[in-house]
Amino acid sequence: MSATSPHGDPSVDFLPFTRPSIDEQTIAGVVEVLRSGWITTGPWNARFEQALSEYFGGRTVRAFSSGTVTMEIALRMMGVGPGDEVITTPLSWVATANVILAVGARPVFVDIDPRTRNLDAARVEAAVGERTRVLLPVHLAGLPCDLDALYALAQRHGLRVLEDAAQAIGSRWRGRRVGAFGDYASFSFHPNKNATSIEGGCLVLPPDADPALAERYRLQGVRRFGVDGMDVDLVGGKANLTDVAARVGWGQLQQVDAFNARRRELALAYFAHFDALGLEARGVLLPPRDETDSNWHMFQVVLPPQVPRADVMQALKQRGIGSGVHYPPIHLFSLYRKLGFAPGDFPHAERVGSGILTLPLFPDMRDADVPRVAQALSAVLRESGV
């Protein structure tokens, strides 16, 4: 099912850069939840958490209202607060760093590997200091970070790890599913993710974490006992997942591996068409193609420095093709400049962030959509002199 062009031409199908795939069985299931009379956190939330636990190899999982609050709660559970430092990447959705500020700690950015666009594990050790408490790597676009190197470093220095796996459900590291091993791992179920619960997220807990503590942070710090007993012993929030959202998430989880297989087919088709068009020789940087363990959450190219990205995006839109920017470097936002970060601090992240462009990739795309996008991008770049 496709929308018409944003310019109103019904003869041109508009191809968004992403769109969720919700099947009729899930829609019918949501109707059943609405009719049940129990639409907030209840039996479907418990069922969703159990299914997630099975998906992640039997680990304990708790569901939340977003994949942002999951990271904040993980940091609170680890005792991170004022005076502490958390090492992370400057190339991510700003939530990755905002949650560090939210608990009173300070983000310490480390530049990316320009090939993978992930945190450069080789640079991390130099950033570890007396106040470092946590490593917070991001699996950008679903491509896993070098988890062997990061966990080895964490063990050497006695650090915790919180994986921002918002985009990585179904991704694998050396054959092992991301989230099925390691320390804390946070996933998002936002509508643009490989599996959605409309809004929502989950936190995979390590063996030494107390699930009841996660639950208290999730709902106002409340602890219940007996038939009518209640106590509050910490400042919690309002971050529970509704049963309506959980039913959508449960239905999506049954299909996510098939969704990811289709995404990989489309990604390989992009590479084939871009190779035929010679885009790399023309200065376009493609994502790593030799990584078999990505879930291909996004297909992102990096445009040549001389090509204005906004012009390319507008020209693609005029051809009925959507695109996105994921992401501008966090340290260049005003909030982070006030903390002392400045242009030139992380040149690889700045280069990638200034030219990165997300192209359409979602399971319901038609095979013919890939050459359409590839040829359109090639033509737009040619018009720009590339």
Tell me which H or E stretch contains 293. Answer: none
How far, in Å, are 29, 36, 38, 339 from residue 100 at the CA level?
Answer: 37, 39, 35, 13
Q: Which residues are catalytic?
A: 193
What pLDDT score does 383 carry?
A: 95
Kindly state the average pLDDT of the residues 303-317. Answer: 98
Kindly state the average pLDDT of the residues 102-119. Answer: 98
> What distance in Å separates the CA atoms of residue 310 and residue 325, rounded to the nearest whole number?
10
pLDDT classification of 5: cutoffs 50, 70, 90: very low
> What distance in Å separates the CA atoms of residue 160 and residue 180, rounded to the nearest whole number?
16
pLDDT classification of 86: cutoffs 50, 70, 90: very high
CA dihedral for 177, 242, 140, 109, sign (positive or negative):
negative
* Annotated domain spans of the chain: 24-253, 256-383
What pLDDT score does 7 carry?
A: 43
For 226-308, where are the alpha helices, taking DSSP H only? 243-253, 256-277
What pLDDT score does 183 carry?
A: 98
300, 287 contact by CB (below 8 A): yes
Residue 365, exposed/middle/buried by CB under 10 A (0-12, 13-18, 19+)?
buried
For residue 127, the 8-state DSSP code is G
What pLDDT score does 99 carry?
A: 98
> What distance in Å separates the CA atoms of residue 69 and residue 261, rounded to the nearest whole number?
29
CATH code that applies to domain 24-253: 3.40.640.10
What pLDDT score does 37 carry?
A: 92
| Superfamily name and number for 256-383 | Aspartate Aminotransferase, domain 1 (3.90.1150.10)
Who has greater pLDDT, 9 or 322? 322
CA dihedral for 179, 185, 191, 193, sign (positive or negative):
negative
What pLDDT score does 292 carry?
A: 72
Res. 75: pLDDT tops 50: yes
Pairing of strands 160-164, 132-136: parallel
pLDDT classification of 290: cutoffs 50, 70, 90: confident
What pLDDT score does 206 carry?
A: 98
Q: Global pTM?
A: 0.95
What pLDDT score does 12 carry?
A: 60
> What distance in Å separates the CA atoms of residue 275 and residue 267, rounded to the nearest whole number?
12
Nearest alpha carbon to residue 298 among 380, 190, 223, 162: 190
64, 239 contact by CB (below 8 A): yes
For residue 227, the 8-state DSSP code is T
Percent with pLDDT over 90 in the chain? 96
Res. 3: pLDDT tops 60: no
What pLDDT score does 191 carry?
A: 97
Six-digit token string for 382: 């040619």
For residue 381, the 8-state DSSP code is H
42, 384 contact by CB (below 8 A): no
> What distance in Å separates the CA atoms of residue 44 and residue 253, rounded to the nearest whole number?
13
Among 20-24, 211-215, 327-331, 382-386, the range scoring the smallest mean pLDDT is 382-386
What pLDDT score does 164 carry?
A: 98
Query: Which tens digit of pLDDT belongs to each residue from 330-365?
Result: 999 999 999 999 999 999 999 999 999 999 999 999
